[in-house]
Chain A
Amino acid sequence: MLIKLTGGKVIDPAHNVDGVARDIYIRDGRIVDAPEPGAKVDQEYDLRGKLVMAGAIDLHTHIGGGKVNIARAMLPEDHRPDLCAATDLERSGCGHAAPSTFTTGYRYAEMGYTAGFEPAMMPVNARQAHMEMGDTPIIDKGAYAMLGSDDLLLSLMKDGVDQRVINDYVAWTITHSQAMGLKVVNPGGISAFKFNQRKLDLDEQAPFYGVTPRQILKTLAQALHDLGVPHPLHVHGCNLGVPGNVQTTLDSFAALDGLPAHFTHIQFHSYGTEGDRKFSSGAAHIAEMVNKHKNISVDVGQILFGQTVTASGDNMSQHRNAAHADPSKSVIMDIECDAGCGVVPFRYRDTNFVNALQWCIGLETFLLVDDPWRVFLTTDHPNGAPFTSYPHLIRLLMDKSFRNEQLARINTDAAGLSTLGSLDREYSLYEIAIMTRAAPAKTLGLRDRGHLGVGAAADITVYTEDADREKMFAKPNYVFKDGTLVARDGRIVQVVWGNTHVVKPEYDPGIEKVIEPHFRRFRTQRMGNFKISNDEMCECGHGSKLHVHDCTHGRKQ
């Protein structure tokens, strides 16, 4: 079937196209060249006067895995006021901050998002995470496996093994947990928490293993680089949420010695200790370093005011936050040899000094980092705010007067300490398209997503331009997923099952001689049961396709 999208103004930063009216042809889920004159067009959409972008990609959103399910189970009050009835098309669902899997897929698609990546998949929990994501309709999925506080890595590092052994272990883990990348969360800190430590600084030796977070960061970043995994190490650094952690973050940038890395939810890692309350914005320092160091990219993890739930592998910081839980309940868990997890419900208040300053710090970061290819639009869903608030966040970035109106409403001490009011920058649609489409596709190595060139997957979102950017981005006119019209004017019109993206870096199979005994001696699962096969992935994903991406990016030959 040939579909023609006629005359829309195309914004496609991957091809330097900014608002040029042109036709797009779709056949078999792909964007194709214009057919011979006279070829039969089966379906035509008149998009004259409308804006056309690739489907948006969220590279950091907690949509699957144990902690999300804990959040769902723990927060019936999140579900009761937000019920979605079943329709002929949609399954019933519920949830605002921790929506059910089906609701997650529908709401992303309705907003013009066609892919979301779960950033903290514990390898031991990978099967559960993939089954949940398999039940998330329409959007493409993928996950980053989490290492860095696991017993085997730390033991190998303690024994001083060669980097190649670590590389094999990392590649093996990514391959058999069916991941798209690797995240490190509070390197060594989750393990240290289990030894009753409540803080682990960048150069502090982790208890028992004697390795430092700096060494862990460097080792894992090196591994991904050597393996040629497209997305560099996804770093959730030390001291999340601790005033003064901006220095830790800057030191962590430096610790990489120029190796590429992505620092996630950077807002939570940009706190200074100036002022009467010893809490201040470090966004300017962070942005300066990001601007200078092309090997670094960040996503913001913007907070927005209201009720949400924080879910993280960082049990050390979540244990600290549990005192501020609202409603007052939380779960802090140990996940056998792998890691930990903490789920703490939270309400960000604009009257609260700390929350208001966090809001400013996130926005300052967006506005001070020059290169939209290296700063991604996230709220660290649901940690800073639910993903459904993205249209509001886009308006804050694109509309200075709206931003300043909001700034006038927050805690005045926080507003007074922030430089936000003096920042005039307004993001353009082109820049928004970079940070939500082209750039995430590029960093993840999704060559056929995030752009509208011939050969690309037909993940396409069509908007009507509106000065109210929140309204505009909340309900696109059309959303196509792999060539199928799935949403119209913010309502689902067809349900498809998106693809799952993975990488399978090469490794020496001999590494199993190291891994297998570790499973046998210490873990509740045998190595054979840990491995998730390709067939299993497709079974649990309603027949969705598995896309394996190349690992040749910057590879050492």
Chain B
Amino acid sequence: MSALTFTARGMPAADIDCGGLTCDSLAGKSAAEVAKLPILVGGRQTPCGDVFDVSGSDTMQIVFRGNGATCNRIGAGMTIGSIRVEGDAGDHLGLQMKGGKITVTGNAGDFAACEMKRGRIVVQGNVGDSAGAPLPGNKKGMSGGMLVVHGNAGERLADQLRRGQILVAGNAGAYAASRMIAGTLVVLGTVGAHCGHAMRRGSLIVRQRPPLPATFADCGTHTLAFLPLLMASWKEAGAPFATLPVNPRAQRWMGDTGNGGKAEVLVWA
């Protein structure tokens, strides 16, 4: 069986809501049936077949192909199966995802892995702002699973992260780990200004000292037995995370003392 494939017809119209095109909701449907399903395009109900050429039959493997930067909410709420985006994905990639796997070969827009609960998202390129954050106004961001970004992340990465891991191979923008509640954020490149702002608990792990607010306190260098264990869990994320030198020594900052001060920033070489 070949993967159920959505190939964009030309330049897609603004805002294609792909939230309904998941392995869960398409199970048992043929390509022809899927092409008839109404989806929101520019806020209007439109048959899926008007914007995508739909082919293939395996609804447990879905592929989006072509210009996908306006394809929003890919994999929203999915619990099983896999979605592969060949090219870019729009905003809200994997919104409130509860299982399965999403791979994006290009970049993803804002709010990737927003309120994600379980499963795995791998983005080969960059992600926009607020990856792993909650929807605006909500109080808890990603609460489980793993987001792996091979490129860079925008601002407010892991804002109000509740649980789970976010691994970024490149750089992170301003306000990384802001208001973080728990969970782990790893950035191998540089981290922008105001990182850890109002961070309550959880860990930000970096390889060089970030521009921390004055409300973080230096707690010295420690040998942390959990670091090798944590790094072992990165094996499944592949290079470069799986091939990092295993080193239990890290310098530890605690903060944000303006918000309880129970979060940590670990700088490890």
List residues of chain A with CB under 8 Å of any chain B CB.
74-77, 80, 327-329
A contact residues around B138 at 8 Å (CB): 76-77, 327
Q: Is B139 an interface residue (CB 8 A)?
A: yes
A contact residues around B136 at 8 Å (CB): 76
Docked pose: A75 CA to B138 CA in angstroms: 8
Q: Is B3 an interface residue (CB 8 A)?
A: no
B contact residues around A77 at 8 Å (CB): 135, 137-138
Name the CB-closest residue of A to B138: A77
Name the CB-closest residue of B to A73: B137
Docked pose: A329 CA to B139 CA in angstroms: 9
Determine the main DSSP class of B at the interface with A. loop
Docked pose: A75 CA to B136 CA in angstroms: 10
Asked whether, in the complex, the Cβ of B135 is within 8 Å of the Cβ of A80, the reply is yes
Asked whether, in the complex, the Cβ of B137 is within 8 Å of the Cβ of A328, the reply is no
Q: Which of A76, A328, A329 contacts B135 (CB 8 A)?
A: A76
Asked whether, in the complex, the Cβ of A76 is within 8 Å of the Cβ of B139, the reply is no
B contact residues around A329 at 8 Å (CB): 139
Given A76-B136, A76-B138, 5 further pairs, Cβ under 8 A = A74-B137, A77-B137, A327-B139, A328-B139, A329-B139
List residues of chain B with CB under 8 Å of any chain A CB.
135-139
Chain A CB count within 10 A is highest, among B135, B136, B137, for B137
A-B pairs, top 6 by smallest CB distance, nearest first, are A76-B137, A327-B139, A77-B138, A76-B136, A77-B137, A328-B139
Determine the main DSSP class of A at the interface with B. loop
Q: List 13 A-B contacts (CB under 8 A).
A: A74-B137, A75-B137, A76-B135, A76-B136, A76-B137, A76-B138, A77-B137, A77-B138, A80-B135, A327-B138, A327-B139, A328-B139, A329-B139
Docked pose: A76 CA to B114 CA in angstroms: 15
B contact residues around A74 at 8 Å (CB): 137
Name the CB-closest residue of A to B45: A85
B contact residues around A328 at 8 Å (CB): 139
B contact residues around A80 at 8 Å (CB): 135
A contact residues around B137 at 8 Å (CB): 74-77
Name the CB-closest residue of B to A80: B135
Docked pose: A73 CA to B174 CA in angstroms: 26
Instruction: Give A97 Cβ to nearest chain B Cβ, in Å.
Output: 14
Docked pose: A329 CA to B138 CA in angstroms: 10
Docked pose: A75 CA to B135 CA in angstroms: 11
Docked pose: A328 CA to B137 CA in angstroms: 11
Docked pose: A74 CA to B137 CA in angstroms: 7
B contact residues around A327 at 8 Å (CB): 138-139
Instruction: Give B73 Cβ to nearest chain A Cβ, in Å.
Output: 12
Instruction: Give A342 Cβ to nearest chain B Cβ, in Å.
Output: 19
Instruction: Give B114 Cβ to nearest chain A Cβ, in Å.
Output: 12
